[in-house]
Structure formats: C-alpha cells, structure tokens
Structure 1
Amino acid sequence: MPEPGPSPLQSSLPAAAARFGAHVFADAPASGIEAAGALSTVPAQVPAGVPVDAPVPLPPAGPGHVPVSEDAPAAAVRQASPALERILRGPSGLGTASLHLAARAEEPPPAPAPEVPVPGRPIPGLYHHPIQEPDPARVEEVSRRIKDWAVDEVDLYPDDWEGEFDGFSVGRYMVACHPDAPTVEHLMLATRLMVAENAVDDCYCEDHGGSPIGLGGRLLMAHTALDPLHTTKEYQPEWAQSLHSDAPRRAYRSAMEYFLRMASPSQADRFRHDMARLHMGYLAEAAWAQTDHVPEVWEYLAMRQFNNFRPCPTITDSVGGYELPADLHAPAAMQRVIALAGNATTIVNDLYSYTKEQASPGRHLNLPVVIAEREDMSEREAYLKAIEVHNDLMHEFEAEAAALAAACPVPSVLRFLRGVAVWVDGNHHWHQTNTYRYSLPDFW
C-alpha cells in the first residue's frame, strides 16, 4: 500500500527527524498534508452524502510548523504543544470540528453535527475523550457483512449464540475505532479479525467451553491459521484440513486470507507477531488459573501488556488504506506508543467488564481484583485505584505520542499516531455504550 506522503523511508526515528523535519513541513502544502495539523486532517467521520463504500479523500493542506526539539522529553512536549496533544488524542467532544473533513476553499464549512444521546455512562473519573456516534450507514453495512461471514462462510456459532453475537455490536465497535477507513471492505479487515480473536478467547479460554488445561496446544494449532505451517508434502494436507476442524481456526484462517489480500507482507508479519504476543498472554493467565495464583500488581500488568488489544491498533494503517513503513513502525519509540495504547485500552476493558466478571462463576483476574488482594484494599478502593492506573497510562500514551510526532513529523507517522489515538477513543466509546454487555459497579 502506498505511503500517504512524499517522504522516503527512514531507518531510524532520530534520523528521520533530523533529515526530514524541515522539508516535510516545507513540502506539506504540495503534498496535500498539513504539517502541524496532519493528524487532524484524517477524517473521523464520513461526510453526509458520500456513498458508504466510497473512498474518503484527504483534505487540502495548509502551512504550519511545530517548533519542538527532537530531543525534548515527552512531558515537556505535552506542555509546549497543547495543540499537538489535542490533535493526537483524537476527538475531544461531540460535534467537534476535528470529526469532519476540513472544508475546501470553494465550499462552506459543514454545519455542526447534532448531538446524539448515547447509552451508558462513562466511569466517573476515567480519563477519556468522547466521540460522535459512529456513522450509522457504515455500522449497518459492516454489521450485515460480518454476520453473513460468521454464519455462511465460517459457521462460527450455533443458533443459540446469535443474541450474544448481535449484542457484541462489533460493527459499531469497528466503525468507531476506524473512522478513516476508505471503504467498508477496509473496515471488514479489522472486523473479521476482531470476531475471530474473540472466538478463540471464548471457545479456548473463557465462556464457551474454554479451559486452561491443554490451552497451549489449541492456541498453537490456531496460530498456524495466521502463520502457516511449512512442512513436507506428506503432512501438509492433514494440517490444511485441521484449519477447518473448529470455529476458532475456521475464523482465523478466513479472516487472515482476507487480510492478506489488502495488507502488505510487512503489515501481515507485524500482525502475526502481535497475535503471538496475545497468545502468550493467554497462556500466562491460564497458568495462574491452574495454580490458583494471584499475581502481584506489576506481574498482572506485565501479563496484560501481552493479553490485550494491541493487535487491533497495530493494523490501523492497513484499515486506513496506507502503510506505515516497517522501519518507522519497529523503533522503540513507536513500539512504546503502541504498547501504552494497548495497555490503557485493556484496562478500560477490565473496568467496564468488572461487574460482569464478578457475577460469573469462579475468580476472574482483572486489575481491581488483583489490587484488592495484593494491596489489601476494599473492592471500591481497588476499583478507584485501577482508574488511576488507567489514567496514568493514558497520560503517558499521549505524552509519548506527542513527543514522537514532534521528533519525527513524517506524514505516515503522524497519520498512524492519529489513527492509534482515535482507536483508543473508539474503544472506550464502545465499552461505555455497550449496555448489553457491561454495567458499572455501585461505587459512587
């Protein structure tokens, strides 16, 4: 997929900052990308009147510059550039102009979108950024397509699971998290993978027959649907047949086949790597369940860095129809931003699913439960401290993203960071508003 900008590939972020900081901004008007506001130029909503599956163009450019030193610490960047921080964190309120395409010179600015009441209430004290309701036409189309795929292509669930599948509202989830996807088919890349990942979690680990016993073998076989087996001709057919043997493997195989049609080899390999991380996190949690071990808080957070949402924001460029080059995705600064985003959004899941998990049989490890036991706190005190942990992760994510954007203002880097930030906001919005699955504890 082409990089959305004129800058050639770079081997390191510091080098990119030093060699491209000036001329990327100088060339921005010609390239159709605003320099200082590049992250806000990616549309967060499909304008009215645009066909559901139509490509979404980038808006026209304007001049700008963010005069921040490449070696400035993240905290200093947050203070020195509040506009950059605001752009990076994505939408900051219902009806905000950052949710719309920038107006073309010959067109009047769009009228503010009406505020639409949303179900659910946010967790009091939780640091987050409200967003607009996702585009309803896209939600409807993605929801229709994903159900057709689940039922007709991969035979994902029996009839009595249909209500739970519908209640998951995955179409609404993915449209909220990827508002810059140029077509519905790009959105479907993320949607199929999300549904497949949840099938593995439910059927192998959790509610629908999952067990920690033998989990490693099941996960390994499922992972070969993403990262194919290369073996002899004698044994290849048996492996290929095994990919159809249960719903999780069927879903992984099909979702990955679709992904490979539109993603680059580098993007596919990146995704496989993050899925291996996810599966390793599943195994750590399963090992603790088998020994009835409650980890220390820092150990739990380490496990959650692997058993988390990271595979989802890491493909934000694939879903957006462009590519962040491998040498800009791999450096430690970018990996830290992605890891912090994954960690913060996963603690959001711990907090919103707390009541549901507490009502389920057995002990479910989540951050409030671990804090309560390891730090000798009441349930309420532990829950409120878990909110603080989330907020600290979010602030660190935004500070590191702002610092990276200032140090490496390459268009694809800016767009990717913006995409990850919007994914974080969309993930919170889905958790807050999915009252079918979640309700808040009575701690306030």
Structure 2
Amino acid sequence: MTTHKRFKQSLIFTAITLASLTTVGCATQVAPGKYVDGVHQVQAKGKKSQIVLEVKVEQGNIVDIKTQSHNETESLFLNAERLLAKVLKNNGHEGIDAVSGATYSSNGILKAVNKLPRANGIQPEYVAVGSKEASGDDDFKLKWSIQPQLGLISGDYYYEEARFRQGHKGSMTVVTNSANKDDVILAEFNESGRPNYYTRLYQDVPKRMSEYNFTMGKKKGTAWVQSALTMEKLMMDKDQLIFEPNPNHDPKLANKLKEPNRLRYLGIDIVAGASNSIQQSMIPLTAKIYDQIQTQGTHYKFYQHAEKVLDSKGKWTGITGMLRIVVDTNTKQIAKAQFDEIFADEKAQIADASMKKYYRQSKYDSINYVEPARIGFNVMFDALNEHLKAGGSLFDINDLPATGDSGSYAATGFTKRSSSWDLYLKHADILYKQMRADGVIVEHKRPATK
C-alpha cells in the first residue's frame, strides 16, 4: 500500500513537472511572425536615451521597420541600427545578437521590437543579449571624412580621366605649388559607375560623396572612398605621385582579391574596398600627371575656397560650401567651375534634422538629396559651369536655373530661388578678387542693381 502510494505520488509529481515545463516552453517559444497588424511605435531604453522605432506589420509579419528617434552616441547607434535589417528578415528579435561595441543600443532596439503586440496576446519577457559577432566581413566601420580644406588654396592644375575595367570612369586631380612643382598641395581621385552598372541606382554616379559608400561598401566591409583618401594623403604627405605596386599582386585574380593581392605602397596597406580602382585607375592616371608635371607643365591655374556655413548665431549648420575654379592662363578665361555643399561627417553635426541622412555626402553627388528649389542641385551648377565656360560673368547668373521665383513649377520646373546661389556668389567674390590680384582672369561685370 505504502509502495503504491509512493508510486502514485511520484507519477503526480512527474506530471506536474512536465506540465510546468510545457507551460514555460509555451511562454518563451512564441511563434515568430504572429504580430498584430498595423503601424506600431515601440520604444525601449538604450544606453543614453529611449530608442523609438516605427514598425509596420502586415498579415502578422514585420514588413518595414525604421528608427523614429534616439539620442544615443551617433557612431555607436549607426552600428546597432544594422540590426533592423536582421529583425525584418528574421520577423522578430529572437536569436539576434548585439553588435560588438554597441551592446546597449543593440539591446534597446531588440527590447523595443519585443514590445510589439502579439496576435496571441502573450508578452514574453525580454532577455538581454550579448555580442557574438566578431569583426569580419560584416564589420562596416564608418571612419572616412570628405571635408575639404578650409580657406583658399591655389596652384598649378592637372587633370586626367579615363574609363577602365568594364567602363567605370576614373578621374584624378592634382594641384601643385606654383613655386615648386614637386610640392603636391591637392590630390583627389573620383570614380563614376559604368553606364551599364548592374545596380541601376549607381549608373554614372560619382562615388566619392554619394550613398555608394554606405550601400555598396557593406558588401566589402569598407567604404570605397577610404582607399582613395589613404592614397591621397600619402601623395600629399610624401609629395609622391608614382609608386611601385605590390610585388605579390596577381592581375589574374581580377576582383577576387586575396590577402597577398592587396596593394602596398611605402608600407601603406590599401584596403580591398577599392584596390582595383586604385591599381587600374588612380595610379595610372597619376603617373600620366606626374609625367606632364616633369615635362610640359600646365597653363591652368586652380583656385578653391571652402567655408563652413554658419547660422545667425554663428554656429556651424553642418554644411560646408566649396567653390572651385580652373582658369586657362593663356586666354584668362574660366575653363571649369564646380560649386558644391558638403554635409558634415556625422549626423549629430547637421542642424537640420531632415538633412542628417545626407551625412558624408554632398548635394551635388547625392542621389537622394532633394533640392528645395524643385530642380536638381547638379542641374543648377552644371548650368553654371557651362555658363562660365562660354564666357559668362561669375556674377550674372539671372538666366540660370532656380535663380528667381517663377511662381509656376509646371511651367518652369522650379518654384523659388535656391539659397545656394547666394552662397555661391559669396565664394565667387572671394575667388574673383584673388584671381584678379594674380592677373589670371579677365574682368567679370556685375549685373546692375535694380
């Protein structure tokens, strides 16, 4: 009897234990994708602030997720924000680790996702996660700077461009000290995607200050521009324009770069993100320029003025204005002009919240930048370039796009004057005075004031 009673109690205990385990399993193993349809705002604490997400759910599945607001350290949050794509793909936060170096922000994002209302009514408890990601192919570190040298610089101008590998167009600008041809004061490489590029978004688009570095760079673990900047700094620091390539380089590898195939110049290891561009375009173009410097020289002069745009209180807006002018000293006419407005390297430095997404880009190169004047920023200043090359005045811009209020977008293609023209005129006045003082340009008439 006693033995039977103990056996019965044992069966009851086992049944209770199994039931308890089953209950716990049901509470924690929520089927993914079973969310309440609609657009939800969810939030959770990161390291410094509440992270607010907007999540769209259709048929129980997450179809869109984006950050609404946060006040985390910008560089860390940018890394943590990569988890949004994983949450979308995974249809939930379960099984996703934190990003190394941004653990608190990562957990804030994942905890917010955990607060999405579930179709079964269960709200599982969030369990904080650590980082299991090692630095590797998915480690995309945003470190480069595209800010121009402030103030005025001038010198002898050299430029080469050519298409290479499947039709990409590389271009190289070199400016040397007019008093010392061996003193390199500016070296700048750019590249435009080939016209038949497999990603239509980047066909014929300049890479240096566009979104290319953020999207395509992720596939390579680094931004394209970082390699170019490394080489440019080397050229200016060492006043050197020709190099011996890595003796281990194997051209048969083409795009399939391996460690021995990485470029090395004077001990500088060029990252693989743009080593083909460096090797097949930048170095050959620079070598041509070097030969020209040493032989025939140039009759073109380069002038650049860059200045931070300040608000009414004298605080930087996060935008830097820059005007470049190339003058043919034989004719004293403008051969090329380029005006651009360059966004700060960090989102936090840009005052206008709507412009923060364009950080490390410029208005001219950005694909997604929307010019308030209702006409492309590049269209405006391409027209300026053609106007000046044809002998037009630096200051007579009234017939150029978006220089006045038309009042009819349908009829003219724009509705109001672009504030960029006023900024351009300020830079033009500074460069014009210097060029006239140097005796390299003819007089440019100013339009009569009304």
TM-score, normalised to structure 1's length? 0.25
Select the structure that is richer in helix.
1
Select the structure that is richer in strand.
2
Query: Which protein has the larger Cα radius of gyration, Structure 1 or Structure 2?
Result: 2
